[in-house]
Amino acid sequence: MPIVLDHLSHTYFDGTTSVPAVKDVSFEIREGEFLSIIGHTGCGKTTMVQHLNGLLLPSSGRVLVDGMDTADKKLRPAIRSLVGMVFQYPEYQLFADTVREDVGFGPKNMKLSEDEIALRVSEAMAMVGLSLEEFGEKSPFELSGGEKRRAALAGILAMRPKYLVLDEPMAGLDPQGRQSILGMLEKLRQETGCSIIMVSHSMEDVARHADRILVMNRGEVMYLDTPKAVFSHSDELAEMGLSLPAPCRVAALLRAKGKDVPLDICTREDLEDSLLRRMGA
pLDDT in tens, 116-149: 999 999 999 998 889 999 999 999 999 988 888 8
Residue 149: per-residue pLDDT? 86
Instruction: Indicate if the pLDDT at residue 264 is higher than 60.
Output: yes
* Residues 58-106 pLDDT 10s: 999 999 999 999 999 999 999 998 999 988 777 888 899 999 999 999 9
Residue 281: per-residue pLDDT? 52
* Full set of structural domains in the chain with CATH: 3-227 (3.40.50.300)
- pLDDT band at residue 260 under the 50/70/90 scheme: confident
* DSSP calls for the chain: --EEEEEEEEEEE-SS-EEEEEEEEEEEEPTT-EEEEE--TTSSHHHHHTTTTTSS--SEEEEEETTEETT-GGGHHHHHHHEEEE-SSGGGG--SSSHHHHHHHHHHHTT--HHHHHHHHHHHHHHTT--HHHHTTS-GGGS-HHHHHHHHHHHHHTT--SEEEEESTTTT--HHHHHHHHHHHHHHHHHH--EEEEE-S-HHHHHHH-SEEEEEETTEEEEEE-HHHHHT-HHHHHHTT-PPPHHHHHHHHHHHTT----TT--SHHHHHHHHHHHHT-
Poorest-pLDDT segment among 24-33, 38-47, 175-184, 189-198: 175-184
Average pLDDT, the chain: 90
Instruction: Indicate if the pLDDT at residue 13 is higher than 70.
Output: yes
Mean pLDDT of 253-260: 82
Mean pLDDT of 243-257: 85
Poorest-pLDDT segment among 17-21, 40-44, 144-148, 237-241: 144-148
Residue 280: per-residue pLDDT? 63
